[in-house]
Each structure stands twice: as structure tokens, then as C-alpha cells.
Amino acid sequence: MKRPYIIGVMGGGSATVEEIDAAYKLGRLIAEQGWILLNGGRAAGIMEASAKGANENGGLTVGILPDAGPVGTSDFIQIPIYTDMGNARNNINVLSSNIIVACPGGTGTISEIALALKNGKKVICLKFKPGDVFKTNEQQGMLFYANTPEEAINLIIINLKNIAHG
């Protein structure tokens, strides 16, 4: 049986209205493709908006949470996974996803981009420029940039064709 693709959506707990709107739309588009949305699971920023977009449009949402219990968990996460690992859960986020979409965020998001690239995962940055340190990854075809959720979805579709999937 072929498992559905898991798209990791990473981004900050604080976000602008424009970033929230883009994350919601991204979540909706992920759900419409029949993919699973995985994120950090919190009721804040990019995590809340992307989970809401997927959940309200029939998608399945998984949250990898830093704490041992449900405090702060988004109501739009259907499968919460409590790790009690703090920021170490970022590795679970990355390794459990087929492709990562990095939305605007801070050092946590940057760490997820770095972990993804170190583990051979492709990363699509949506309205987010993490800096020149990742220039080599871009040149190697591992890091991509999108200005809209639709562009991000098209890049996911293109890159999923090259991923071994069981």
C-alpha cells in the first residue's frame, strides 16, 4: 500500500496577517492534493494557520509538539504527538516529512531548513529568504523559492516525482 505524502510546513509562532493568509492557503492547497500536513502543532502563527487551512478543507493534520501534554496545541491538529523534547522535535518534523515548506520564521525555522538539507530533504521557502548560507543547496537543486502558495504547490508536485516513496 502506498502511503500518502507528508508535507512539513515550518514557520514562526509569530506572523503577519499576510503570512497567516499565505499559510492558511498553503494548508488548504495541501489538503486539496490529498497530502498530510505536518507542522509544529502549536496554536500560533504559521502552525495554527496552515493546520486550520488543511483541517477546514478536509485534510489530515499532524502536530509534533515540544511539550509533554496538550497545553498550547492547535485545535486544528488532528493527530498531536507530544515529544517532551523541546526544540529537538525539529528533527522529527524534518525526518517525518517528504518535503519541507519553510514559511517566515526565526531560528527554529532556520534549524529545520538546515536539518532538512543535511538529511537530503528538499526545501521550498515560501516568501522567506533564509540567507546566503544556503546558496550551495540552492545551486544543488535542494532549495527552492516560491512567492505564492500556488507556486509552492507546483514545486512540491515537481519534486515529489523524484522522491522514493513506499
Give the 3-state secondary structure percentages of the chain, helix then strand then coil, rounded to 5: 40, 20, 40
Task: Tell me the three state secondary structure of residue 58.
Answer: coil
Model pLDDT, residue 15: 97
Model pLDDT, residue 47: 98
Beta strand extents in 12-162 (DSSP E only) = 36-39, 60-65, 79-82, 99-102, 122-126, 143-146
Q: Where are the domains of the chain?
A: 6-160
Is the pLDDT at 166 greater than 60? The verdict is no
CA distance 145 to 102: 9
Model pLDDT, residue 136: 96
Asked if 23 and 49 touch (Cβ cutoff 8 Å), the reply is: yes
What's the whole-number mean pLDDT along residues 13-19?
Answer: 97
β-sheet bridge partners, residue 60: 36
Give the CATH architecture of domain 6-160: 3-Layer(aba) Sandwich (3.40)
pTM, two decimal places? 0.96
What's the whole-number mean pLDDT along residues 123-145?
Answer: 95
Cell of 147: 512567492
Tens digits of per-residue pLDDT, 27-68? Answer: 999 999 999 999 999 999 999 999 999 999 999 999 999 999
